[in-house]
Every structure is written in structure tokens, then in C-alpha cells.
Amino acid sequence: MSKTKKHETQEADVLTAGEVARWLRIPKSTLYKLCQQGEIPAMKIGRHWRFQKSVLEGWLTDRMNRAAGPVEAHQRAPHPGKGR
């Protein structure tokens, strides 16, 4: 791999707040709030938030897996008052 391609690959591994907001399809203001609350893996460098793509992918997968469990169980459970 050439130095240029390797450098481009490394740059893509670190994302800006704008890139992450577009990727997650959320407003940047929501992303900043999640960062400040420590709910999303991020690092502040000076005044700028930075995100490691592989860590974010793992975080998102984990959150989706945890969210899928209760939703599926809730969907299978009979609704109170129904079936009478």
C-alpha cells in the first residue's frame, strides 16, 4: 500500500462530529449532548470532538443488540386486556 493510501485509510478511522452525525443521521446538537453526557465513545481534542470509527461501530452494534432484546420480548408479550 502506498503512503498516500495508508494515510487516507488512517484519516478515515478518525471521524469528525459532522461525519458521525451524518453517519448516525442525528443532529450535531444531539451528538454533542451525547458526548458531554459520556453516552457515546468520543475524545475531545482541544475544542473538537473526535471519534474512532471502529469503536463507534462496536458501540452502535452493542446498543442495537441490547435494544433488540426487550423490543422483541415486548412484541411477543400479550397486551394487557387483549384476548379476553
> What digits encode the pLDDT tens for the residues 57-79?
999 999 999 888 755 555 555 55
Measured CA to CA in angstroms, residue 2 lies from 14, 37, 53 at distances of 19, 40, 22
27 or 82, higher pLDDT: 27
Query: 9-13, 30-34, 41-45, 51-55 — which is least confidently predicted?
Result: 9-13
Domain boundaries, the chain: 3-76
Q: Tell me how far apart the alpha carbons of residues 42 and 68 are, in angstroms, rounded to a whole number.
A: 24
For 3-76, CATH number out of 1.10.287, 3.40.50, 1.20.120, 1.10.10 equals 1.10.10
Q: What is the DSSP letter of 82?
A: T
CA atoms within 13 A on the CB side of 43: 8
**pTM recorded for the entire structure:** 0.68
